[in-house]
Structures are given as structure tokens and as C-alpha cells.
Amino acid sequence: MSGYVDAARAWLAQDPDAVTRDELTSLLARVEDGDAEAAADLEDRFSTRLAFGTAGLRGTLGAGSNRMNRVLVSQAAAGFAAYLLERSSGSAPTVVVGYDGRRNSDVFARDSVEIFAGAGLNAILLPRLLPTPVLAFAVRHLGADAGVMVTASHNPPDDNGYKVYLGGDDQGAQIVSPADAEIAAHIQRIADGGNITTLPRSVGYANAPESVVEAYVSATAAVAPAPAGAEGLNWVYTAMHGVGWETVSRVLTEAGYPQPTVVEAQIHPDGRFPTVAFPNPEEPGAMDLSFETARAVDAELVIANDPDADRLAVAIPDADAEGGWRRLTGNEIGLLLGWRAARLAAEGASPTGDASDDAAEARGDAGVPASLACSLVSSPGLQAVAEHYGLEFHSTLTGFKWISRAPDIVFGFEEALGYLVNPTTVRDKDGISAAVALLGMASEARAQGRTVADLLQEFRDTFGAFASDQISVRVSDVSEIAGIMAALRAQPPAAVGEIAVSRIDDLLLGVDGLPPGDVLRLWLDDGSRLIVRPSGTEPKLKLYLDVRGSSAKKARRRLDALRAGAEELLVSVR
């Protein structure tokens, strides 16, 4: 324990944050009084470091090397600056920094730009708290070498994070290996140096002009200018206590859509997220206030962004659903938007819908077809769409760091409510541009006397009934996840429920040219698919279930049977 006490005292000596200093001082006093619970807490905070990986940093706010705080962020900023300087060709690299409305996001962003500027980089800070897609856009728009977004997206209220993008050949996408390990090595070197108070800082950073936000608004509004059917559209929007609304409202005005009825209790940024247990539209109950608002105004559609507005949720009226509203799955939204993108590509139009020279850029070099892409855990229905329109299809590892790198991509998605609809401007998931594209589809259908539900039925009639489900197991001890994965590898199941397993792909061994990943993909004799993987951002094990049927009813029966079998399998290995 003395080692952890010494580490905590060394941490206190360099911590510029009065809140975390007081927190750690109090904890040390309890440890010295023999408090076993405090000792365990101290060990958890200092026995390891919050790991920097392809998702950057993400963790619980608090003092210690295994928490998100100003010391850890300062070390990360200095390490990232060293990495950028090492790979620069001589001129000072440019890095742009954004932040959302979570607790300490603005503080972490300003620490970062001051350290970047102090290291000799051209550091630019976005003008105020803004959605993650605006930062991803700004990296390309400003020709920056890199970008940092301070956000924990849809994580619990006490979390924050540090997401890293690269410009140049990476085109503003999130980092992938080996960049993560190289950056992590620089961060470790800074941490080993001992004291962040010796890091050079400068207030000589630039504040990005409002024109950057205006350019994002214009590019996003161009994704789907309002068609005739948009007039009179009665819909509801929630920002889930996040930063989306100001930007969304401006995009709607420029694109010509009617303003929605907003969920007042959730429309303004509030890092406490007081009305939801988890600020994630996927979580049970998160959209209850949206449905309540929609019922009150007899809305036709509900649209939600997560707190940093890089994800999109959609709900439609459904008499069979509890409360009369049903949230579409990420796969349903992704297949609708992928269908839209495929039609535009087949017609020679760009992802923005314009039949122009931009289309050539969207499709890549002359003669190379456009492509659709999704993560390997997302619906196989997108491949059916691509084949129908003669487009290329790519299945990638999870995360838009991989999806966005698919060759000649015009659309990409993952089932966790993430959609890339305008790759010529944003190489990341973007819940705002996806909302505009969905509003365009809904409005066009409305002009024909149809609804989003009718579009889903038309999709099934055209491509088949694809049905998906997910089992998510949250754990308190992440070692339990590793144990389950190890058990499945040691004794691979011969069947899931009553359906025999025909093949198992272990992606740790490399499959289909994909980089190795901790993923097991089970193919069943009836064509169904079960994928098991740890979450990349939360302490969860996720199981993804996919089936295809000749009708929605038959697909649902098959999916229910697969879910029952998967739950039995999970019980047997826990």
C-alpha cells in the first residue's frame, strides 16, 4: 500500500485541480486511519493507468492515474504533441480542439490547447461547446494535421474522454493502430517524467472563427434540402441534455425543414443528465420524455441525438408498441439510409444528393464503383443493398475509425446508432447529417401519402426481412468478460439452441483480411449469425443476433429462437 500512497502524494504535488486535490487528500487521510475501503479505492486509482487506445481515453472523472483528470489529460496532450512533432515534415503541425457540455470538458480542452501551443504547435480551439461532428469536420475544413474532441459521448454522467483524429492521409478519421501505440508511448514518457507543472504552456493558441461552424451547417444542410413533403411535418427532437440543438436548429433552417417540438427538459446542455439514467438513446427509458412529448403533440416522428450528437435515434408511431411509439433499431435506420445512398450513387449523385462533379469524388477514381460499408456486427442487409445496386461492400471491425477507411465509401453505419452519410466532408459518424438525410426520406414519403413505416415495409419487400437483436451484459469486473471469451474459445458451442453451428470465425486469428480483434462470429445452419465481443467503450459483453426471413413475422420467430439459444449459451459459460 505504501507504493500507492507515494504515488498519490506525487500526484497531489502536480495536480492543478482543487477539486481532485481535495478528493485525494481526503482519501489519503482515510487510508492513514486504516480505512480498508479507502485503501481499496486508492489501489484502484493508482494500480494502473487509464489506457490510451484507438478510442483515445475514456473513464470516470476523479483523481489518480486510472481516472480522467487534468493531470492525465495534460500528459496525453503533451504526448500527442510529441507524436505530431515527430511525424511532421518540418513545419509546425496544426491541431484543432473541440469540447462538449460534460463536466470538465472545457477545462480539459483549454489545458490541451495551451500545452499544444507551448510545444510549438499551431493550436486552434473551437469557439464554444459543439457537437463531435463539427470537430471532425473542422479537422478537414481547416487542413489540420490532427484534432482532439473532449467528450465521453453517451457514457454515464461521471465519465469523460479524449478522442483523437488525424488529418492528411487519414482524412480526418479517428486513429487506428499503430498510431495508438505510438501516441501511448509518448504519453508514458511524459508521465514517467514526473511533473506536468514543468510542461511548457502558452495562451498563444487561436480561437476558430464562427465561419467554421457556418461551413459545417451549410455542408450538412446540403445533404438533403427539404423536399415538398417537409412542409407541415410535425416532429419531436431531443438533444438528450447534450450539445446538438443549437447546431441542429441552424441546419434545419438552412435546409428548409420545419422546426420541431423540442423536449424542453432535455434540450439544453447539462452534464448532470438529470432526466436519464444513461444519456444514451439505446438505453431503456432514455426516450420516454420524447414519447411523452410526441403523444402530446400528435407527432409523426421523433428524432434524438446523443449528448455529443454523433449518434441518431429515430422513433415512429406504432399501435402495437407500449405507449404507442417504437424506437427503430440502429440496423433499421442504417439500412434505410444505406438504401438512400445506394440509389444516389447508382444515379450518379453525390452523398449530398447533387448530381455534380462531387459525385466523382464520392465514388473515387474513374471506373471504381462506390461502396457501402458497415461494421461486422451490423446487419448483413447492407450487403444485399450493395449487391442490388452493383456497388462494392465492405465489412469492417467495429468503430468508425475502420468504417470511414473503406475504399470509395459513400455511406457507412454501425448498429449502435452511428451513420456516416457525407464522407466527402466528415469522416466519422454524424448524428446531425444523418438526421437531415432521414428527414429528407420521411418528407419524400410524406409527399406520397406514406410514412417511415411504409419505407421499412418497402425495404423488406425489395431486399428481404432482416431482423436483428442484441444482448448486452454489463459487468462490475471486466475480467469476467475475458473469462467468457476464453470459455467460448476453449469449448466452442456445437449449437445455439436447436440450430447447429456450421462455422466459427475467431477474429483474433485474422479473418477476411480484417485486423485481429477480440470477436467470435458463429454461423448457424439456417443462415443465422451470432457475434460475441467485448464493448470497446463500456464494461459490457455484447452479443449480436442477425437473421433473415421471407417475411417480418417469420424473421421475428427465427430471431426469438436465436435469442433464447444465445441466452442459454451465455448462462452455460458464466
Per-residue pLDDT, averaged over 227-251, amounts to 97
Q: Which of 389, 390, 438 shows the shortest CA–CA distance to 413? A: 438
Please report whether residue 200 resides in a domain: yes
533 contacts 377 by C-beta, under 8 angstroms: yes
C-alpha cell at 166: 488525424
In 50-146, where does DSSP find H-type helix? Answer: 70-87, 105-118, 132-141
Please report whether residue 114 resides in a domain: yes
User: The domain that contains 559 carries what CATH number?
Assistant: 3.30.310.50
Using N-to-C axis directions, what is the helix angle for 431-447 and 132-141, rounded to 10°? 100
Stretch (H or E) spanning 548:
strand 540-549
Q: Are 230 and 293 contained in the same domain?
A: yes
Please report whether residue 216 resides in a domain: no
User: The domain that contains 185 carries what CATH number?
Assistant: 3.40.120.10
3-state class of 445 per DSSP?
helix
Distance between CA 414 and CA 12 in Å, rounded? 42
Instruction: Identify the domain containing residue 24 by its residue range.
Output: 1-10+18-44
Q: Which of 378, 380, 381 shows the shortest CA–CA distance to 415? A: 378
Please report whether residue 393 resides in a domain: yes
3-state class of 104 per DSSP?
coil
Q: Are 307 and 385 contained in the same domain?
A: yes
Distance between CA 281 and CA 74 in Å, rounded? 31
CA distances, 574 to each of 39, 473, 492, 568 (Å): 29, 11, 14, 10
Is 88 designated active site? no
115 contacts 404 by C-beta, under 8 angstroms: no
pLDDT of residue 361 exceeding 60: no
Distance between CA 264 and CA 468 in Å, rounded? 32
Q: Are 237 and 292 contained in the same domain?
A: yes
454 CB-near residues (< 8 Å, 6+ apart) = 445
153 contacts 135 by C-beta, under 8 angstroms: no
Distance between CA 467 and CA 553 in Å, rounded? 10
The chain-wide mean pLDDT, for the chain, equals 93
Q: Which of 463, 498, 532 is the last residue of a domain?
A: 463
C-alpha cell at 479: 475480467
Instruction: For residue 140, count other CB atoms closer than 10 A to its CB.
Output: 18
Express each pLDDT in 463-494 by its tens digit. 999 999 999 998 888 889 999 999 999 999 99
Split into its structural domains, the chain has a count of: 4
pLDDT of residue 362 exceeding 60: no
- The pLDDT score that the predictor gives to residue 360 is 44
Per-residue pLDDT, averaged over 385-392, amounts to 97
Q: What is the DSSP-derived secondary structure letter of residue 229?
A: G
Q: Which of 180, 208, 236 is the last residue of a domain?
A: 208
pLDDT of residue 356 exceeding 90: no
Q: Which of 363, 434, 364 shows the shortest CA–CA distance to 220? A: 434
- The pLDDT score that the predictor gives to residue 165 is 97
353 or 462, which is more confident: 462
Per-residue pLDDT, averaged over 159-186, amounts to 95
Express each pLDDT in 364-376 by its tens digit. 444 558 999 999 9
Express each pLDDT in 3-58 by its tens digit. 899 999 999 999 999 999 999 999 999 999 999 999 999 999 999 999 998 889 99
The vertex-417 CA angle with 413 and 423, nearest 5°, equals 35
Identify the active-site residue in 153, 350, 404, 443.
153
Q: Which of 114, 111, 115, 155 shows the shortest CA–CA distance to 132? A: 155
- The pLDDT score that the predictor gives to residue 66 is 96
Could you tell me what percent of the chain has a pLDDT over 70? 96
Strand partners, 149: 98, 163
147 contacts 96 by C-beta, under 8 angstroms: yes
The DSSP code sequence of 372-395 is EEEETTS-THHHHHHHHTT-EEEE
Q: Are 140 and 81 contained in the same domain?
A: yes
Q: Which of 449, 536, 512 shows the shortest CA–CA distance to 57? A: 536
Please report whether residue 214 resides in a domain: no
Give the burial class of 25: count Cβ atoms within 10 A of its Cβ; 0-12 exposed, 13-18 middle, 19 or more buried: middle
Q: Which band of pLDDT confidence, cut at 50, 70 and 90, is reported for residue 339?
A: very high
Distance between CA 441 and CA 301 in Å, rounded? 12
C-alpha cell at 112: 490541451
pLDDT of residue 352 exceeding 60: no
Express each pLDDT in 258-270 by its tens digit. 999 999 999 999 9
Distance between CA 127 and CA 185 in Å, rounded? 31
Q: Which of 409, 444, 463 is the last residue of a domain?
A: 463
Q: Are 442 and 337 contained in the same domain?
A: yes
Q: Are 52 and 36 contained in the same domain?
A: no
3-state class of 2 per DSSP?
helix
Any idea which residue has 494500480 for its cell? 47
pLDDT of residue 161 exceeding 90: yes
CA 89 to chain centroid = 31
Q: Are 239 and 369 contained in the same domain?
A: yes
Per-residue pLDDT, averaged over 526-555, amounts to 90
Q: Which band of pLDDT confidence, cut at 50, 70 and 90, is reported for residue 350?
A: low
Q: Which band of pLDDT confidence, cut at 50, 70 and 90, is reported for residue 513?
A: confident
Q: Are 84 and 113 contained in the same domain?
A: yes
Residues found in the chain: 574
CA distances, 271 to each of 282, 308, 339, 415, 567 (Å): 18, 11, 36, 25, 35
Q: Cα-flanking dihedrals φ and ψ of residue 371, to 5°?
A: -135, 150
Any idea which residue has 454489463 for its cell? 474
256 contacts 230 by C-beta, under 8 angstroms: yes
Any idea which residue has 495534460 for its cell? 74
Q: Are 250 and 365 contained in the same domain?
A: yes
Q: Are 175 and 96 contained in the same domain?
A: yes
Q: Are 417 and 519 contained in the same domain?
A: no
Per-residue pLDDT, averaged over 89-111, amounts to 96
Q: Are 406 and 423 contained in the same domain?
A: yes
89 or 123, which is more confident: 123
Per the confidence metrics, is the pTM higher than 0.85? yes
- The pLDDT score that the predictor gives to residue 512 is 80
pLDDT of residue 413 exceeding 60: yes
Please report whether residue 215 resides in a domain: no
Please report whether residue 552 resides in a domain: yes
Q: Which of 117, 123, 28, 16 shows the shortest CA–CA distance to 70? A: 16
Please report whether residue 27 resides in a domain: yes
Q: Which band of pLDDT confidence, cut at 50, 70 and 90, is reported for residue 353?
A: low
The DSSP code sequence of 464-528 is -EEEEEEEEEE-SSTHHHHHHHHHHHHS--SEETTEEEEEEEEGGG--TTPPP-S-EEEEETTS-
